[in-house]
Structure 1
Amino acid sequence: MIYEMTIQFRVGDITKGQEWYETLLKKKPDFIPHDGFTEWELIPGCWLQIAEGIPSIGSGPLRLGIDNLEKERERLINDLKIEPFYIYSREEVPVKWTTFSDPWGNKVGLFEYHNQSDKENRMKTILGIQL
């Protein structure tokens, strides 16, 4: 049985990496066990680890569900100086999505449900609430 998960990205400079991911995630790390390593619990039992080391170019993408993709794109372009990126959508896919890279080449993505009820049903499932 799987009960928890982590994903790890490597960055060439842990201080800059921590600052970049704090801005992306809009929060400080939840756990810094030692130098060169920091972690955020994104949702219960789901951890993002940033470790100082040689980046594996093209790792990911780690895709994060958000409420407003267009608004978040503007924030990231302004706050993290990310190159403008395209938002994709297909009729048969229940979300619109995008992918971009952090300064070390790790792929990060965002997605937003087209239909609010689909999002709410997914959140109920994740939180273990009866439908």
Structure 2
Amino acid sequence: MIYEMTIQVRLSDFEEGLHWYSTLLKRKPDFSPHEGFAEWELLPGCWLQVAEGNPSLNSGPIRLGVIDIEEERNRVQEQLNVENFNLHSREEVPVKWATFSDPWGNQIGFFEYKNEVEKTEKIQAILGKSQ
């Protein structure tokens, strides 16, 4: 039985990366057990780890579900100087999505459900609350 998961990205400049990911996630890490390592619990049992080290080439993308992808795009472009943040959508896919890179080359992205009812139901089911 799998009951939790972690995803790790490596950063060649940990202090700058810690600031970058804290800005991206809009909060400080939940857990920093030692130098060069930090974790955020994004959802119950789902952790994003950032660790000092050599980034893996072509890793990811790690895509995070958001309520308003255009608002998040504007925020990360302004606050984190993210470029090449192009939205994608296909009729047969229930979400619109985008992928961008952190300053170390790790692929990060966002997705948003196109159907508002489906989006609200997902949020309520996962987080136990409404928008």
| TM-score, reference length from structure 1 | 0.93
Report the AA paired with residue 93 of structure 2. Answer: V
Q: RMSD between aligned alpha carbons?
A: 1.4
Q: Percent identity?
A: 61
Corresponding position of 1:57: 57
Corresponding position of 2:123: 123
Distance 1:127 1:26, change over 3 A: closer
The 2-side partners of 1:103 and 1:57 are apart by: 13
Partner SS for 1:57 = coil
Distance 1:127 1:72, change over 3 A: closer
Q: Which runs of 4+ in 1 moved over 3 A?
A: none
| TM-score, reference length from structure 2 | 0.93
Cα deviation for residue 23 of structure 1 reads 0.6
Kindly provide the CA deviation profile for residues 65-124 of structure 1, in whole angstroms up to 9, marking residues without a partner as x: 001111111111110011142100011111000000000100001001111111122234
Corresponding position of 2:70: 70
Cα deviation for residue 17 of structure 1 reads 0.7
Report the AA paired with residue 6 of structure 1. Answer: T
Report the AA paired with residue 19 of structure 1. Answer: H
Corresponding position of 1:13: 13
* Ranges in structure 2 where 5+ consecutive residues have no aligned partner: none
Partner SS for 2:17 = helix
Within a 5 Å distance, the mapping from 1:30-45 to structure 2 comes to: 30-45=30-45
Kindly provide the CA deviation profile for residues 12-55 of structure 1, in whole angstroms up to 9, marking residues without a partner as x: 01101100000100000000010010000001110000000011
- 8 Å Cα contact 1:77/1:84 also seen in 2: no
Q: Count how many residue pairs are aligned between Structure 1 and Structure 2.
A: 129
- 8 Å Cα contact 1:57/1:104 also seen in 2: no
Verify: 1:79 aligned to 2:79, yes or no: yes
Partner SS for 1:92 = coil
The 2-side partners of 1:75 and 1:50 are apart by: 21
